[in-house]
Chain A
């Protein structure tokens, strides 16, 4: 306010003492009214044209440019939002699919394992049965062989004894007496040689 008054004071001071300054070195050229009319005329003309061109031609274009950009940005933002939502839904679907397939694969795995285990068990059982049969057969054979073994050995013993006696004594000895002796010995000591 003080500044304003100060300048007003200066202005009026210059205004009223114009004559004094004009008499000197021209004073304030601003207060020389020679070209006032010219300045008013040109100001009105130039500013008028400037105003008309700006308001009718240029400013509406800038305004529409700004509006257009604003709406386009808004549209883009909306589109981006929509796409984001879509992608979120897709992502959820994808997650669901993954979870489902994980569960499925787990089930499949378990099933297959059980099946395989069953098959293995069955095969093992049959194999074990076969092996048992074989073993049993072999055992039977062995026991048969064992049972027949003393008779064969007794026979060998009888034949061997009679042959030895023939060579030693030089006379034929009845086989039946030798077999009686062998039988007797077998009965006596059989358990020692052929113990079960």
Chain B
């Protein structure tokens, strides 16, 4: 069982079973790592925002650099109109980043390697962006599906494609993150298993791979959080500044 690379993704109950009506909302290892990630974020940023010195200390610098990084990302992709959504995108980016990074520690659980988690986030973004789009532009938001400068003959086809691509946004957004995290962790587990099964003689090669993969996975963990956040910005940009 332990050799199964999928075991690491198993969710299990921690503590008693909690039920609301027919729904089981027990505290699980997934909930634990969501909580741990959030607390880590709150701790770091609270320390980073605590006192204002002209010469920031390391943790303050970290908080401020993250702030300006996300702020710049949003203003670059979605413009100045996206400013009210800064806090949400910042929380989203940090939450995904910390969940990914905590998943890199051995024996931890990767929250974002579960499709249901990423899908809930993506669906929330999708619904939110759609609502924002309709509030800002009314039914004019539907012009998003009708690109300008397309021949009349091709228009029905293009509109169908646009609608499908729009509706597949939450799926692509959630699956991208989930699949990346799952694939990476599975691969590391598989190589780890090779190290054990090949032993002291042949285990060095998969061990080397494992070390290299750890570096790669840390990069992927950051990159996927960044991609998740920047795609949210791009969707938001569509809703705020209708370009088509």
The chain B residue with its CB closest to the CB of A7 is B179
* Cβ of B146 under 8 Å from chain A: no
A residues in contact with B27, CB < 8 Å: 38, 42
User: Contact mask B44-78 → A, CB, 8 Å, 1/0?
Assistant: 01101110101000001001100110000000000
Interface majority SS (helix, strand, loop, mixed), chain A = helix
* Cβ of B116 under 8 Å from chain A: yes
B63 touches A34 (CB 8 A): no
Q: How far is the CA of A140 from the CA of B42 in the complex (A)?
A: 124
Contact (A50, B11) CB under 8 Å given A37-B25, A69-B52: no
A residues in contact with B182, CB < 8 Å: 28, 30
Of the stretches A51-59, A118-126, A144-152, the one at the interface is A51-59
Range for the number of chain A residues in contact with chain B: 35 or more
B63 touches A35 (CB 8 A): no
User: Contact mask A7-51 → B, CB, 8 Å, 1/0?
Assistant: 110110000000000000111111110111111111110110111
Q: How far is the CA of A147 from the CA of B24 in the complex (A)?
A: 161
A residues in contact with B52, CB < 8 Å: 64-65, 68-69
Interchain CB contact (< 8 A) of A37 among B13, B24, B50: B24
Of the stretches B28-36, B149-157, B214-222, the one at the interface is B28-36
A28 touches B6 (CB 8 A): yes
Interfacial residues of chain B within 1-21, with CB under 8 A of chain A in the complex: 1, 4, 6-7, 9-11, 13
Minimum distance in angstroms from B56 CB to a CB of chain A? 8
A residues in contact with B9, CB < 8 Å: 28-30
A44 touches B179 (CB 8 A): no
* Cβ of B234 under 8 Å from chain A: no
* Cβ of B108 under 8 Å from chain A: no
The 3 closest A-B pairs by CB, nearest first: A55-B87, A42-B31, A61-B49
